[in-house]
Amino acid sequence: MNKLIRKSVEFLAGLAVLVTPLWAGNALVNPGFEADAPGEHQNLVGWTPYGPNYYNQSGSGVRHGVNALKVFSGFTRSVNYSGVYQDIPAGPGSTCSAEGWVKISSANLPSGQNRAWIEVTFRDAADSMLALHRSRVIQSGDIRAGVFPQEVWLELPVTNQYDPGTYTITGSARMLVAPAGSTRVRYQVVFEGDAANSAGAVYFDDLNLNMARVVPAPPAGPEVEAAEPADESPGEWSLIWSDEFNQPDGSSPDASKWGYDRGGSGWGNEELEYYTDRTNNARIEDGKLVIEARHENFQGKEYTSARMLTKDKCAWAYGRIEARIQIPRGPGIWPAFWMLGANIDSVPWPTCGEIDIMENIGREPGTVHGTVHGPGYCGAGGIGGPAALPGGAAFADGFHVFGVEWETNRIRWYLDGKPYFALTPSKLPAGRRWVYTQPQFLLLNLAVGGRWPGNPDATTTFPQRLTVDYVRVYKKFLPPDRPATSKIPN
Q: What is the DSSP string of 439-482?
A: -EEEEEEEEE--TTT----TT--SSEEEEEEEEEEEEEE--TTS
Which amino acid is present at 86? Q
Catalytic residue among 223, 354, 405, 407: 354
Q: What are φ and ψ of residue 180, in 5° steps? A: -55, 140
> Catalytic annotation on 407?
no
Residues 6+ apart with CB under 8 A from 247: 253, 254, 284
Distance CA 312, CA 309 (A): 9
Which amino acid is present at 333? I
Report yes or no: 423 and 417 within 8 Å, Cβ to Cβ. no
Distance CA 52, CA 460 (A): 12
SS3 per residue for 403-429:
EEEEECCEEEEEECCEEEEEECHHHCC
Q: Which of 132, 320, 302, 175 is nearest to 233 (CA)?
A: 320
Which amino acid is present at 82? S
Catalytic residue among 270, 271, 359, 405: 359
Report yes or no: 158 and 133 within 8 Å, Cβ to Cβ. yes
Burial of 286 (0-12, 13-18, 19+ CB in 10 A): exposed
Angle at 340 between CA 336 and CA 343, to 5 degrees: 165
Distance CA 490, CA 474 (A): 12
Q: Which of 228, 191, 217 is nearest to 123 (CA)?
A: 217
Other CB atoms within a 10 A radius of the CB of residue 87 amount to 20
> Catalytic annotation on 359?
yes
Number of H helices, E strands in the chain: 2, 30
Report yes or no: 440 and 342 within 8 Å, Cβ to Cβ. yes
Distance CA 244, CA 470 (A): 5
In angstroms, what is the C-alpha Rg of the chain? 24
* β-bridge pairing 301-305 and 273-275: parallel
Kindly list the catalytic residues: 354, 359
